């Protein structure tokens, strides 16, 4: 697989890099790249930052917050964390997603790490989480990106999420420590994260038989424009907080789903989905479809039955969403 090079550690730039490669990069074959961020919390596309992240701690410790374009939960990045992105065409998502999602696990196994996949989007070693990943589909393009905890500062990781709301913090810092691990413990031959990155790049590029994909000046300008105009902006990172008269939440097959509804004359005036759920298409399309629908189970079910709900919420049917609203 061909590879890109991205030495930038600016988290706003790197989220822009992902979106540009998914939506605008001219490629006919899959590409991958490995990258790092300076300390930052990267929140999922659908998450509410005020309830998911300890914003005071971020401010006190100069930790950035950036919203990514994929679903899932908030993650902490620092220079002890190596991130990866795989982008390619996909004519058959059911076939291609498992293949893309499994590439990094197989690469770790090739390095002698006993990595296994768990749940929706985690990689474990001896029962401890070392990686999480998420996906996004745009037209016929698929992106899978994720984290690789090589030597992450676990002390900071345990503090960046909001103690009163996050799934990790609700189980206590000691529990967090017991359920995550750094890959450095399992890679005695990789003395640094730079060496770890080189070994992974070598494996994924078939020992460099696949060449580097050079980015043009136009590509780099497009990434910088996205960084400046979107991913560095308060409106993108913080300004998606919903206001609602009704809030429903449930744990479904795709993850935690929250729906924030505003009603007027017993119709849905506005709605907003939040949570750490995963899906292939933006939930905003479902939000738009529900606007103006009478707020009763039959009317909502009829509206949702005209859409393929599992494309927006992995493994979820229309009746699952209706059930959580009443």
Residue 167 has what pLDDT? 46
CA 125/CA 130 separation, integer angstroms: 7
pTM summary value:
0.80
CATH, domain range 246-325: 3.30.390.50
* 124 Cβ neighbours under 8 A, 6+ residues apart: 115, 116, 117, 118, 130
Residue 18 is predicted with a pLDDT of 98
Cα 283 from chain centroid (whole Å): 15
Q: What is the per-residue pLDDT for 192? A: 95
Alpha-carbon span 87 to 324, nearest angstrom: 34
Helix/strand/coil for 234: helix
Q: Residue 164's pLDDT is what?
A: 40
Fold adopted by 2-237: BirA Bifunctional Protein; domain 2 (3.30.930)
* Token reading at 160: 């960046």
Write down the domain spans for the chain.
Answer: 2-237, 246-325
The answer for residues whose C-beta is within 8 angstroms of residue 322's C-beta and 6 or more apart is 297, 300, 301, 304
- What's the chain's Rg over C-alpha atoms? 20
pLDDT in tens, the chain (326 residues): 999 999 999 999 999 999 999 999 998 889 999 999 999 999 999 887 877 788 889 999 999 999 999 998 889 999 999 999 999 988 887 788 888 889 999 999 999 999 999 877 899 999 999 999 999 999 889 999 999 999 999 999 989 976 444 344 434 444 444 588 999 999 988 989 999 999 999 999 988 889 999 999 999 999 999 999 999 999 899 876 555 578 899 999 999 999 999 888 778 999 999 999 999 999 999 999 999 999 889 999 999 999 999 999 999 999 999 999 88
* Fold equal for 2-237 and 246-325: no
Kind and range of the H or E element at 321? Answer: helix 318-325
Q: What DSSP element (H or E) covers 131?
A: strand 128-138
């Amino acid at each position: 697989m061909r590879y890109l090079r991205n030495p930038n550690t600016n988290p706003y730039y790197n989220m822009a890099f992902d979106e540009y490669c998914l939506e605008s990069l001219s490629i006919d074959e899959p590409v991958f790249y490995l990258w790092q961020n300076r300390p930052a919390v990267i929140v999922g596309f659908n998450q509410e930052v005020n309830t998911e992240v300890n914003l005071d701690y971020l401010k006190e410790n100069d930790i950035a917050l950036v919203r990514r374009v994929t679903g899932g939960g908030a993650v902490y990045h620092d220079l002890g964390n190596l991130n990866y992105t795989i982008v390619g065409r996909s004519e058959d998502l059911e076939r291609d997603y498992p293949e893309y999602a499994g590439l990094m696990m197989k690469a770790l196994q090739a390095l002698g790490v006993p990595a296994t996949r768990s749940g929706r989007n985690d990689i474990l070693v001896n029962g401890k989480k070392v990686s999480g990943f998420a996906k996004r589909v745009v037209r016929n393009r698929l992106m899978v990106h994720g984290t690789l905890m090589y030597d992450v500062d676990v002390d900071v990781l345990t503090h960046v999420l909001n103690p009163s709301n996050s799934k990790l913090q609700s189980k206590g810092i000691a529990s967090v420590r017991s359920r995550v691990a750094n890959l450095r413990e399992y890679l005695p031959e990789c003395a640094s994260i730079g060496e770890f990155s080189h070994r992974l790049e070598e494996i994924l590029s078939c020992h460099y038989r696949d060449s580097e994909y050079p980015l043009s000046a136009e590509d780099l300008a497009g990434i910088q424009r996205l960084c400046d105009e979107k991913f560095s902006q308060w409106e993108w990172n913080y300004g998606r907080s919903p206001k609602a008269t009704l809030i429903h939440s449930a744990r479904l097959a795709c993850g935690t789903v929250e729906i924030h509804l505003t009603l007027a004359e017993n119709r849905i005036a506005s709605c907003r989905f939040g949570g750490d759920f995963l899906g292939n298409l933006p939930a905003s399309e479902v939000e738009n479809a529900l606007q103006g629908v009478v707020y009763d189970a039959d009317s909502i079910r009829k509206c949702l039955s005209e859409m393929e709900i599992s494309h927006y919420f992995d493994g979820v049917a229309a009746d699952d969403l209706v059930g959580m609203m009443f």
